[in-house]
Amino acid sequence: MSEKLNQLKEILGEVTDLNRAASVLSWDQQVNMPPAGGEARGQQMATLGKIAHEKSTSQEVGRLLDDLKNELSGSDSDDAALVRVATRRYDKDTRVPAEFVAEQAVVTTAAFEAWVEAKGKSDFSIFLPHLEKVVGLVKKYISFFPPADHPYDTLLDDYEPGMKTADVQKIFDDLRPQQVKLIKAISSAKQVKDEFLHKKYNEKKVWDFSEAIITKFGFDWNRGRQDKTAHPFQTTFSVNDTRITNRFEPGSPLATLFSAMHEAGHALYEQGSNPAYERTPLAGGTSLAVHESQSRMWENLVGRSLPFWEHFYPELKKSFPSQLDGVSVKSFYKAINKVEPSLIRVNADEATYNLHIMLRLELEIGMVEGKFAIKDLPEIWDAKMRDYIGITPPNVATGVLQDVHWSYGAIGYFSTYALGNLVSAQLWEKINGDIHDLDEQIRRGKFDALLGWLREKIHVYGHKYDPQDLVQKVTGSRIDSAAYVRYLTRKYSDIYAL
Ligand code: MG
């Protein structure tokens, strides 16, 4: 057995090397590359992707997995997990024909260009025929897989292994009315002032402050770095090389701090993955939702908490004495948690964020089911925005066309953003049960016990356990919304005196 296992690990190690080399190229494209480099870079990444695909779908891999699967089934060992995860990827990769992948690349490239134009002119009709083609391809993709309980299950499973559409719908159906009720209560309460957040702040000082914060979190600069890009993201080249990126928006200068905390949350997860999993599919995080639970925890449960700012605010005030003159820590805390129904998810506060996600999930499921005509999307979008968030987009550019994802066929993962929020609150309740003086530690700028807990219970397992199993193992229950509702209610009852 160990002979075959070694052969499998050798091939998967090479596949991992190729994929991570492609990630380096992609990171460089977004951080350093001059504009004219795009075409060659696209070819280079496509070549690496093609070689990785050929290697990972070879008959040899299929044979090795078949043999090892039987020998290792039922075991909780790392090797059994490796074979299980690799088998699932092999099965997915070999079901989708190469011609389909090529067709998809052509359709989505054109769709992306049409989306840019449609959004610019705020004209859905430009994007409509392209989106129809994209959705047609998504349905075709689903047809390569055995029928599931719901066709959307096949898409969701790519991002959230083992999760079913019906599970997510049930979680959201339970959560939605509670969040809508909370937002209504907040909107009739006395509003929070936040003008001082939109004054002029020095970019370099904000950037340095963001790095000081994540250093205290435990971000290892010997194994990571932060660079500037148009959109913040995190990427991993190895357990010893994890990159985050960030930006500075003059209109919301302190957003840089929260982006750094968010992306560092992703990076801490990757830096804590078991080094023994390197060059295997077990390295890194188990799913998008669990990954997002880490980023949202550091950004929100830690970074938007009062104890956190009781520690950091005096230093922040020292860096920005005129901007924050006369602003108490409590006023600052309220301002960074201000609830304001907004048109766009990326700027949404914690109280409204999940509703943006639910809206998209319902539309994606509707598109996949063919429950409505794609041409009716703008109207459906606006109606749901009114129902859930209480505002109507003034045009389609800020409505149905706001996000790029559908143009490149990325349908199936929006719900993981909201699930990540729910998991972060479930974990937080558990952590507070285990670390009784957590608030006090945060107030002293101490994060080592928190990071140690996350390392031991979540990070070290990498991809070994499926997300629902991991959450169950750590918290005693599967993903649900109760902890998140308790968290939001407690937080906003204080801030808005509800
Ligand atoms: Mg994220």
pLDDT single digits (tens) 79-96: 999 999 999 999 999 999
**Number of C-alpha atoms within 13 angstroms, CB side, residue 461?**
21
Least confident of 88-102, 294-308, 324-338: 88-102
Segments in 272-305 forming alpha helices (H):
288-296
Higher pLDDT, 482 or 101: 482
Tokens of 378: 């703008």
Q: Lowest mean pLDDT of 45-49, 210-214, 218-222, 236-240, name the range.
A: 45-49
For a pLDDT cut of 70, what percent of the chain falls above it?
100
Strand partners, 244: 226, 234
The β-bridge partners of 227 are 245
Which is the catalytic residue, given 160, 211, 263, 429? 263
Report the pLDDT averaged over residues 18-23. 96
Class of domain 165-495: mainly alpha
- CB under 8 Å to 249, separation ≥6 — which residues? 255, 256
DSSP, residue by residue, 133-185? HHHHHHHHHHHTS---SSHHHHHHHHHSTT--HHHHHHHHHHHHHHHHHHHHH
Ligand 1 centroid from CA 263, angstroms: 6
For residue 498, report the distance from its CA to the centre of ligand 1, in Å.
30
Report the C-alpha gap between 248 and 254 in whole angstroms: 8
Q: Give the rounded percent of residues in the chain with a pLDDT score beyond 90.
A: 90
Residue 355 in contact with residue 388, Cβ under 8 Å? yes
Distance 291 CA to ligand 1 centre (A): 7
How crowded is the C-beta side of 418, counted as CA atoms within 13 Å? 27
263 catalytic residue (yes or no): yes
Q: What is the CA radius of gyration of the chain?
A: 23
Query: What distance in angstroms lies between residue 264's CA and the mean position of ligand 1's atoms?
Result: 10
How close is the Cα of 290 to the center of ligand 1, in Å? Answer: 10
Distance 180 CA to ligand 1 centre (A): 24
Whole-angstrom Cα distance, residue 84 to residue 72?
A: 9
Residue ranges per domain, the chain?
3-147, 165-495
User: Among 338, 337, 236, which residue's Cα sits nearest to residue 291?
Assistant: 236
The candidate with the shortest Cα–Cα distance to 69, out of 87, 56, 57, is 87
Q: Measure 295 CA to ligand 1 centroid, in angstroms.
A: 6
Q: How far is the CA of 160 from the centre of ligand 1 (A)?
A: 14
Which has the closest alpha carbon to 378: 358, 359, 405, 365? 359
The residues, ordered by sequence, that sit 6+ positions from 145 with a Cβ below 8 Å of its Cβ are 92, 95, 154
pLDDT of residue 346: 80
**What's the Cα-to-Cα distance from 395 to each of 125, 336, 399, 494, rounded to whole Å?**
13, 28, 6, 35
The pLDDT-based confidence of 1 (bands split at 50, 70, 90) is low
Q: Which of 209-213, 377-381, 401-405 has the lowest mean pLDDT?
A: 401-405
DSSP of 297-317? IIIIIITTSHHHHHHHHHHHH
**pLDDT, position 42:** 86
From CA 285, how far away is CA 9, in angstroms rounded? 19
- Split at pLDDT 50, 70, 90, the class of 475 is very high
Give the Cα separation of 21 and 235 in Å (integer).
11
Assess whether pLDDT exceeds 90 at residue 134. Answer: yes
